[in-house]
């Protein structure tokens, strides 16, 4: 076994051995580390953890109320052409896609029995007109008879005056002669002659009186005949007018055999073929329209506005229309043309129409798009991003207001307009104030946060 050599004489042995020194150094290091951790814990207890947040500023911007709703295109005018008569289609003159002018004949329907009835009406009119002419001739004859009777009456009346004068003269001569005979100045036979002349004049007067009465009767008969002839003329004229009106009515019905376009447009439907039997639309049968004509060079965009926005709508409000199938096209700008003025009870919405010119026929009835309506003019208002506004369970709006020392204040606000991105703040905040942006945590009044720079 080997041993270490003893130290030389006169040397001094060390106070601490090498292992002891290493042990002391390790202990000192552990003490230093422990003190450092204690200092860090003390520091953490002194400075609490702050939640990092991002802030947004209340800004004053021009905000306008808008709404975006579905829109559908409709023809400006659309007419369903149906038959008013029952008959057979003899000619089809229009096809779908044809551009037609107002009054263009689209098809012809044959109704043979009406054509025969029309010929009968024309013959009846000719007969009524002949009867009217005969009655007018009867008036002329009655006028002639009346004129003749009045002439006879005038003649008899004039003769009556002469006869009365002759009778008066004969009576005076008779009285004078009778006086002379009584004085025996004349013979009695002279008186007899004078009496005979007087009696003759008397008889003549009576005959003329009878002739006058007969002439007056003839005048009365002639006047009655004229009245009867006038009545015959009026009756014949009325019959002629009735027959003429019946013919006009028949012609009006025959006009329905020509199906015509009511306005300039495009034929968008056809449901007949030559030879088809078509029935009058009012006979109780259900059948599709024979033609549909639509005005497509001008369209109507119909938009249903929800009740909350309906009160803000006004004629002339700006409307922007876009269509998904024309993604690269510039949106159309138009104005509100009209509205129904009342809400639909079933949908609680207001129907709005916007007129659109479509000269190139690019837009088609039935297309679907999006319409954004701007209500009135933009107004300056304090706004916040919609994500920065919270709502309580009761629906009340509030924000987390950040003061100058980064302390939170839960502040109630009143919200106004909403453009889909920003909300108008009516009360509770002023422009320039900061609030917490979107965050998942709920904060308390007086809580401090760490505001991060963007």
The domains of the chain, with CATH numbers, are: 52-63+381-452 (2.40.420.20), 114-255 (1.10.287.620), 296-378 (2.40.30.170)
pLDDT, position 10: 39
The yes-or-no verdict on residue 180 having pLDDT over 80 is no
In this predicted model, what pLDDT tens digit does every residue of 381-404 receive, in sequence order? 889 999 999 999 999 999 999 999
Q: How far apart are CA 378 and CA 318, in angstroms?
A: 12
What pairing do the DSSP bridges indicate for beta strands 332-335 and 51-57?
unpaired
Is the torsion defined by CA of 92, 96, 98, 104 positive or negative?
positive
pLDDT, position 35: 47
User: Are the CB atoms for 370 and 71 separated by under 8 Å?
Assistant: yes
Coil, strand or helix: which one is 71? strand
Write down the pTM of the prediction: 0.60
Is the torsion defined by CA of 234, 240, 243, 248 positive or negative?
negative
Calculate what percentage of the chain has a pLDDT beyond 90: 44
Q: Residue 259: what are its φ and ψ, rounded to 5°?
A: -80, 120
DSSP string covering 27-41: HHHHHHHHHHHHHHH
Q: How far apart are CA 43 and CA 175, in angstroms?
A: 179
User: Are the CB atoms for 393 and 349 separated by under 8 Å?
Assistant: no
**Nearest CA among 401, 406, 391, 411 for reference residue 434:** 401
- Bridge partners for 451 per DSSP: 53
pLDDT, position 159: 65
In this predicted model, what pLDDT tens digit does every residue of 338-348 receive, in sequence order? 999 999 999 99
Q: How far apart are CA 420 and CA 432, in angstroms?
A: 22
The DSSP call for residue 137 is: H
Distances 20 to 4, 16, 25, 178, 284 between C-alpha atoms, Å: 21, 6, 9, 217, 123
The yes-or-no verdict on residue 1 having pLDDT over 50 is no
- Bridge partners for 54 per DSSP: 452
Highest mean pLDDT among 64-73, 96-105, 380-389, 440-449: 96-105
The yes-or-no verdict on residue 87 having pLDDT over 50 is yes
In this predicted model, what pLDDT tens digit does every residue of 30-69 receive, in sequence order? 444 454 444 444 444 444 688 999 999 999 887 778 889 9
Q: How far apart are CA 40 and CA 28, in angstroms?
A: 19
The yes-or-no verdict on residue 4 having pLDDT over 60 is no
In this predicted model, what pLDDT tens digit does every residue of 264-292 receive, in sequence order? 999 999 999 999 999 988 755 678 999 99
Q: How far apart are CA 406 and CA 180, in angstroms?
A: 168
pLDDT, position 296: 95
Q: Locate 150 and state its tokens.
A: 């009045």
What's the average model confidence in pLDDT over 213-220?
A: 71
What's the average model confidence in pLDDT over 153-161?
A: 65
Calculate what percentage of the chain has a pLDDT beyond 70: 75
* Window from 90-94, 235-239, 433-437 with minimum mean pLDDT: 235-239
- Bridge partners for 399 per DSSP: 411
* Window from 57-71, 185-199, 352-366 with minimum mean pLDDT: 185-199
In this predicted model, what pLDDT tens digit does every residue of 249-271 receive, in sequence order? 999 989 999 999 999 999 999 99
Average pLDDT, the chain: 81
**Nearest CA among 80, 52, 68, 29 for reference residue 374:** 68
Coil, strand or helix: which one is 226? helix
What's the average model confidence in pLDDT over 325-332?
A: 86
Distances 234 to 23, 126, 140, 161 between C-alpha atoms, Å: 152, 16, 14, 42
Non-local CB neighbours of 399 within 8 Å, separated by 6+ positions: 384, 388, 389, 390, 410, 411, 413, 428, 429, 435, 436
Q: How far apart are CA 124 and CA 126, in angstroms?
A: 5
Distance of CA 336 to the CA centre of its chain: 15
pLDDT band at 167 (very low <50, low <70, confident <90, very high): low
Q: How far apart are CA 27 and CA 31, in angstroms?
A: 6
Locate the DSSP E strands across 85-229: 87-92, 99-100, 105-110
- If one counts every other C-beta atom within 10 angstroms of the C-beta of residue 40, the result is 9
Q: How far apart are CA 402 and CA 174, in angstroms?
A: 154
**Nearest CA among 308, 301, 310 for reference residue 331:** 301
pLDDT band at 227 (very low <50, low <70, confident <90, very high): confident
DSSP string covering 300-353: EEEEEEEHHHHTT--TT-EEEEE-GGGTTSPPEEEE--EEEEEEETTTTEEEEE
Higher pLDDT, 225 or 423: 423
User: Are the CB atoms for 42 and 252 separated by under 8 Å?
Assistant: no
Higher pLDDT, 109 or 230: 109
């Amino acid at each position: 076994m080997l041993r270490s050599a003893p130290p030389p004489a006169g040397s001094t042995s060390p106070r601490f051995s090498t292992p002891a020194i290493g042990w002391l150094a390790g202990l000192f290091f552990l003490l230093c580390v422990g003190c450092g951790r204690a200092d860090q814990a003390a520091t953490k207890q002194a400075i609490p953890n702050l939640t990092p947040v991002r802030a947004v500023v209340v800004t004053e911007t021009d905000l306008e109320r808008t709404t975006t709703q579905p829109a559908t295109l409709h023809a400006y005018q659309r007419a369903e052409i149906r038959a008013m008569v029952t008959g057979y289609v003899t000619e089809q003159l229009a096809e779908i896609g044809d551009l037609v002018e107002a009054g263009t004949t689209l098809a012809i329907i044959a109704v043979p029995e009406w054509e025969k009835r029309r010929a009968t009406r024309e013959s009846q009119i000719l007969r009524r007109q002949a009867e009217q002419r005969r009655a007018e001739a009867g008036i002329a004859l009655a006028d002639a008879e009346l004129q003749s009777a009045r002439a006879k009456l005038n003649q008899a009346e004039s003769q009556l005056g002469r006869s009365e004068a002759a009778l008066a003269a004969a009576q005076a001569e008779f009285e004078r002669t009778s006086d002379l005979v009584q004085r025996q100045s004349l013979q009695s036979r002279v008186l007899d002659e004078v009496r005979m002349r007087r009696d003759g004049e008397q008889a003549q007067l009576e005959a003329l009186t009878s002739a006058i009465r007969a002439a007056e009767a003839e005048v009365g008969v002639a006047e009655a005949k004229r009245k009867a002839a006038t009545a015959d003329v009026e009756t014949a004229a009325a019959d002629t007018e009735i027959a003429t009106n019946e013919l006009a009515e028949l012609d009006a019905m025959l006009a329905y055999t020509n199906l015509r376009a009511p306005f300039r447009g495009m034929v968008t439907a056809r449901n007949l073929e030559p030879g088809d039997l078509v029935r009058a639309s009012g006979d109780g049968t259900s059948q599709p329209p024979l033609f549909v004509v639509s005005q497509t060079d001008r369209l109507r965009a119909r938009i249903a506005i929800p009740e909350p926005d309906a009160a803000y709508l006004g004629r002339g409000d700006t409307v922007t229309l876009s269509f998904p199938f024309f993604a690269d096209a510039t949106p159309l700008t138009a104005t509100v043309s009209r509205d129904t003025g009342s809400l639909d009870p079933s949908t609680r919405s207001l129907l709005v129409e916007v007129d659109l010119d479509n000269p190139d026929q690019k837009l088609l009835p039935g297309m679907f798009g999006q319409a954004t309506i701007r209500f009135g003019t933009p107004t300056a208002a304090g706004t916040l991003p919609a994500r920065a506004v919270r709502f309580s369970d009761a629906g009340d709006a509030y924000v987390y207001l950040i003061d100058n020392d980064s302390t939170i204040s839960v502040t109630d606000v009143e919200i106004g307009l909403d453009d889909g991105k920003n909300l108008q703040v009516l009360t509770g905040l002023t422009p320039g104030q900061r609030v917490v942006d979107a965050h998942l945590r709920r904060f308390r009044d007086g809580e401090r946060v760490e505001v991060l720079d963007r």
